[in-house]
Amino acid sequence: MNWFLSGTLLAGLLTTPTTPADTWTITAGGPAATVHLDDQGRPSVAVERDGAAVLDPSPLGVVTEQADLTTGLRLTGRSSRVVVEKYATTAGKRLNRMSVMRETRFRFARGDARLDLVVRAARDGVAYRYELPGAGAVVSEASAFAVPGGSTAWLAGHRRDYENPFIQYADVPAAEYQMPALFEVGRSYLLLAESALDGSYTGPRLVREQGAYRIGLWDARVPYDGGLTTPWRVVITGDLATVTESTLVDDLAPGSEIADTSWIKPGKVLWSWLAGGRPVQQSLERQQEFVDYAARHRWPYVLVDAGWYDDPVTGERAWTDRTPEFTWIPQLVEYGKARGVGVMVWLRFSDFDTRDKRVQRFGLLRQWGVKGVKLDFIDSEAQERLRWYDETLRDLADNRLMVNFHGSTVPKGINRTWPHVMTMEGVHGAEKSSNLTTSHLAALPYTRNQIGSMDYTPMAFQRSGRPTSDAHELALSVLFESGLQNLAGSLDAYRARPEAERFLDQVPAAWEETRLLSGRPADHTVLARRSGDRWFIGAGVSGAARTLDVPLSMLPGRWLVEVTRDGAGGLVREPHVVRGGTLAVDVAAEGGFAAVACPWKPGLTTCAR
């Protein structure tokens, strides 16, 4: 640990008043970032919204093996520009985006050493990153976030695969936490996140100490050659709707590396792991049953999970030279193709950890006709492993394979840069058999899922230990965004719930618009997402039964709203013809509802097509 950064510098900056030497403010009509260089040459940044602080003065800078660039700095130049970008994505809250940001570059020096600080401001937040010339190695960052005292926090403890639950704190204990991290600061919400992380750097964690959250790095030493541009440290702030709907993490990421995205198609995936585990994954006949169900319901994909390429004779749990000889996956692909269903397959990271393995094995999967892969057990944000992501993403794109990363990092703008990344795990999800609560679920839209597609794997109706009612579980198909929505129910569980089938047959996995209608982290969420001329609404609560008053301002004129909620004997569907205003829906304890809204016309009785 660098004790100077974690102790003296942080304490001094947060508690010791200084005489302002140089101060600059950057804003684009929303929150304002104020960069300050004190009389000891120590840079800091503070963020203000509507005249109130959402981030107190927080230290900046890096320490390299060559120089301490956290103190003794002098400004040698400053320039500004406006960055306007229009882009499209294959998944997320909105498929088409427009980003407008004001950027200021500060050029600092200490002796012969140089450090550029680049700050951007948007209507929904601010961000900064560092640029260093030449060659060297970063050993620590001074970067920290001084969240004002008394703020409520929703945090998950740091874990290499990001699979810890989010917990609400009034008083946050000293520990290490993952990003993103959410806070309620006065009348504003504040989300701390990261964008544009790749193999040129290393992963972060938030280290709670001395009233602030310091950036800790995965690697003790991060070498670079030919210059270094670090990831963006992102501060999203506004009311809860602004923070939830923000795409700032994607806006800051590099543009697409793939010119032709026509082969990248989001959609529902029938996933059989929680319906039977390894035996189901090793049976062609059972997998054909899932293909048949998907075809009947017009779901575009099935996913064969762990076990399909284990050697049936030796039981060896690895891809071997004999794998292509005994697997039935090509037969399943042909079976699915004849029925309009694509096949995806699970893979172990360790079987694809070199370029030679990836070229040969991804090429074979493409030859078979596989549409996408689920790569699992990556479990690291070390620089070496992030370089593996960079190389693997290129190899996957070369073979036109969509990807779902599990045991992984979380999205940090990756879908904008690599549009075939359809979803990532990085969540305490439905596979967990313990400590899965509706309060955690009611925090996810504002935290983990805020930054990008999340493979929670909902719809495991057959699992007796799940915390949700049936209607709440059904609503997760809307509440949780994922470019590949892996639905985890058993075939019998779906068939026993025809109203769930009816809704799932309609709900898409790609959205043109997303709006938060009502919510409070860890308490409840009501989200509306638009696809074409229809809106889908998902609602889930944590705790007691209640009536949700759902605002419908996004529905001009008369609309038919079909609400599926918990009834005395199971799921029930109720039609309502509305004209804006609000819709009151009674929900059960730990319950919710799922709804679809379509423009009403005389004689219309259902939104189903």
Catalytic residues: 376, 431
Do strands 301-304 and 267-271 pair parallel, antiparallel, or not at all (unpaired)? parallel
Strands (E), 349-391: 372-376
For 463, what's the count of Cα atoms within 13 Å in the CB-facing half-sphere?
24
Residues in Cβ contact with 224 at an 8 Å cutoff, skipping those fewer than 6 apart: 132, 135, 136, 137, 138, 200
CB count, 10 Å around CB of 430? 23
Nearest partner of 308 among 338, 287, 288, judged by Cα = 287
43 DSSP 8-state letter:
E
At residue 116, the 3 state secondary structure works out as strand
Q: 558: buried, middle or exposed (CB in 10 Å: 19+, 13-18, 0-12)?
A: middle
Q: How far apart are CA 150 and CA 535, in angstroms?
A: 38
C-alpha pair distances (Å), 500 with each of 43, 57, 138, 207: 55, 50, 52, 43
CB count, 10 Å around CB of 337? 14
Q: In what order do the strands lie in the sheet with 43-49?
A: 22-27, 32-37, 43-49, 52-59
444 DSSP 8-state letter:
G
User: Do the Cβ atoms of 301 and 342 come closer than 8 Å?
Assistant: yes
Name the β-bridge partners of 131: 116, 229
Q: How far apart are CA 465 and CA 461, in angstroms?
A: 10
């005395």: which residue's tokens?
A: 568
């790749």: which residue's tokens?
A: 198
Q: How far apart are CA 353 and CA 373, in angstroms?
A: 15
C-alpha pair distances (Å), 585 with each of 480, 502, 558: 20, 20, 18
């892996």: which residue's tokens?
A: 486
For 383, what's the count of Cα atoms within 13 Å in the CB-facing half-sphere?
15
